[in-house]
Amino acid sequence: MDKLEINRPADYYCGNGIAFEVVAPFIVRKSGDNTPKIIICSDREVSGYYYNRFEEQFLKLGIKPVLVSVDARTKNKGLVSADQLFKALVDFDFRSEDWLIALGGGGVIDICGFVAAIFNGGINLLAVPTTLNSMIESVLSSKAYLNSSGHKNEISVEITPSVSVLDPLFLNTVPPKVRSNGYASVIRLALLYDLDLLTGIEGKKDFRVFVNDLYKARVAIEDKDPLLLTLGDELALSIENYFRFMNYSEGEALALSLLASVKESKREPLKKIYAALGLPVKLEGCTEKMIVKTLNDQFEHKGSVKIKMVDLDGGKWNVFDYDIEEAMKVLQSRLKRIIE
């Protein structure tokens, strides 16, 4: 088991199989003489695969956790799911010394993070991410996001998980559509920092080395400008919104936007990587006009948009503050590169 080094107040541990061995002993050590109550929040798919095995480590220590299953899919990650978890905490008479465990992907971690930050003035949160995207994005985020009124990530709250446990065993059962979310996140970091990061996706690195490299890249990018970590989000969000999160996963939409964002010389090599990973290289099922309308709706109440672009002189990514008209021109030019 390795302790990962990153500029966060929480502790991050990584190792093969550790999620089923170290979580319960860690909580017991932290709790001292008290026997804490444990709620494990997960979704139907992850709990179906892993809950019994995950629970076993607590039962060995005489602790019986309570499982709360929530619908954390992108389109349903909202206040209804959060309220379901709030109700369970109230029914279980949860206190600040007790522990909420988020066992799942980014949606589960967002819901748990939101609830943990608000309930009873803040409660202990331990994150066990089960997808690559949640391992390199969700557990590092300083905020938890929920959707509202059909709009993605409209509600947010500051969060600070106590600890995150990264176990690559979970990646064996991630569905292809969900796997694309992690691929896109790695591709974004690689474009912004070092294309050698892409070799980790292909399994050419030990997972702990791979994650450490990704965390190092993320810290370096944050130090330059945290907004760079939203590269591709504007166009990706418009694709998701137009299709109501149905036709394209979050990762597929971001991958398309990233492909559209790079210079022409980079697009063909990137398309080969996309083909190997099963990512789309063309946006289908809509017209340019439809996505442009969605973009206009997206920017309706904004005075300007911060667009991430390559500085042609230095060859580095930078953030440029454009008025809406200029931003739309940039995004439309990108859209033309990927739409049928």
The per-residue pLDDT for range 153-187, each reduced to its tens digit, is 888 898 876 799 999 999 999 988 899 999 999 99
Query: Does pLDDT of 2 surpass 90?
Result: no
Percent of the chain with pLDDT strictly greater than 70: 97
pTM for the whole structure: 0.91
CATH numeric code, 2-173: 3.40.50.1970
Q: pLDDT tens digits for 116-130?
A: 999 988 899 999 999
* Element housing 148 (H / E): strand 143-148
pLDDT attached to residue 313: 52
- Three-state SS for 99? strand
Helix (H, G, I), strand (E, B) or coil at 8: coil
Confidence (pLDDT) at 311: 62
Range with the poorest average pLDDT among 5-9, 50-54, 193-197: 5-9
Q: What is the pLDDT of residue 154?
A: 82
**Can you give the pLDDT at residue 289?**
94
Task: Please tell me the CATH code under which domain 176-336 is placed.
Answer: 1.20.1090.10
Token look-up 């139907």 returns 44
- Residue 49 phi, psi dihedral angles, 5° rounding: -75, -45
Higher-scoring residue by pLDDT: 19, 32: 19
Contact 129, 109 (CB under 8 A): yes
Residue by residue, DSSP assigns 32-76 as TTS---EEEEE-HHHHHHHHHHHHHHHHTTT---EEEE---SGGG
pLDDT attached to residue 328: 94
Residue-by-residue DSSP string for 282-327? SB-SS-HHHHHHHHHHHTTT-SEEEEEEE-TTT--EEEEEEEHHHH
How high does pLDDT run on average in the chain?
Answer: 91
Instruction: Identify the pLDDT of residue 227.
Output: 93
The mean per-residue pLDDT over the stretch 311-328 comes to 82
Phi, psi of 203 (to 5 degrees): 80, 20
Q: CB within 8 A of 33, min separation 6: which ones?
A: none
Torsion over CA: 232, 233, 237, 240 (sign): positive
Domain ranges of the chain: 2-173, 176-336
Mean pLDDT of 193-206: 86
The answer to whether 89 touches 63, Cβ cutoff 8 Å, is no
Cα 212 to Cα 140, 153, 164, 266: the distances in Å are: 13, 27, 14, 26
* Contact (Cβ atoms closer than 8 angstroms) between residue 259 and residue 236: no
Task: Tell me which long-range contacts 227-231 makes (C-beta under 8 A, separation of at least 24).
Answer: 227/306, 227/308, 227/319, 228/192, 228/308, 228/317, 228/318, 228/319, 229/188, 229/192, 230/308, 231/188, 231/191, 231/192, 231/258, 231/261, 231/308, 231/317
Rounded percentage of the chain residues whose pLDDT exceeds 90: 69
**What type of residue sits at position 15?**
G
What's the pLDDT band for 107 if we cut at 50, 70, 90? Answer: very high
Strand 143-148 relative to strand 151-158, pairing: antiparallel
The pLDDT-based confidence of 314 (bands split at 50, 70, 90) is: low
pLDDT digit string (tens) for 241-293?
898 778 899 999 999 999 999 988 889 999 999 999 999 999 999 999 999 99
Predicted local distance difference test score (pLDDT) of residue 315: 65
Of the candidates 198, 237, 236, the residue with the CA atom closest to the CA atom of residue 217 = 198
